[in-house]
Amino acid sequence: MKVIFLSDVPRVGKKYDTKEVNDGYAMNFLLPRKLAVLATPKALAELEMHKKEIAIEREVQEDLLMKNLEEIKGKAIVLKGKTNELGHLFSAIHKKEIVTAMKEQNRADISEEFIILDKPIKGVGEFEIPISIKGKKSSFKLIVEKI
């Protein structure tokens, strides 16, 4: 049975993928949990329209960020978190927290996908966070302080 995934399903398919799966798996697991829908011609046409909308939205966002890339470069963002005696954060800082702080403090609207963060930040201090948009690279400073 051919289905369109509505969300990521580990080891099976990613969101908006179209894939052939076993009938029982689709009928008993994917469809009742609304993880996928049947791949009818109408659903496939809607999926293509949705993918085009996402591509256009991404292009617009990239263009806006390219204009603001130089402004972002000089900015510093401050995040505060609880730490233990050694200065390690109890909760690591991920891309999502950085994006939220950037929106609040600098009014710069940037998506998580443009931030390059190898691993979550677990310590206190200053960090240089790289950004890559359409091959152009920049960075900004993230200051992590303890509460």
- Output the CA torsion sign for 20, 50, 101, 75: positive
Whole-structure pTM value: 0.66
Strand (E) positions, the chain?
A: 2-5, 18-20, 36-38, 76-81, 88-93, 121-123, 125-133, 136-146
Q: What is the mean predicted confidence (pLDDT) over 61-68?
A: 80
> Are residues 33 and 15 part of one domain?
yes
Average pLDDT, the chain: 91
> Are residues 32 and 91 part of one domain?
no
Position 11 confidence tier, pLDDT thresholds 50, 70, 90: very high
> Are residues 77 and 141 part of one domain?
yes
% of the chain residues with pLDDT over 70: 99
Q: What is the pLDDT of residues 80-122, one digit of tens each?
A: 999 998 889 999 999 999 999 988 887 677 888 889 999 999 9
> Are residues 91 and 46 part of one domain?
no
Structural domain boundaries enclosing 26: 2-59
pLDDT at position 75 is 81
Position 147 confidence tier, pLDDT thresholds 50, 70, 90: confident
Assign residue 52 the CATH number of its domain. 3.40.5.10
3-state secondary structure of 141: strand
Q: Taking the chain, what is the end-to-end CA distance rounded to the nearest angstrom?
A: 54
> Are residues 43 and 15 part of one domain?
yes
- Which of the two residues, 32 and 69, has the higher pLDDT score? 32
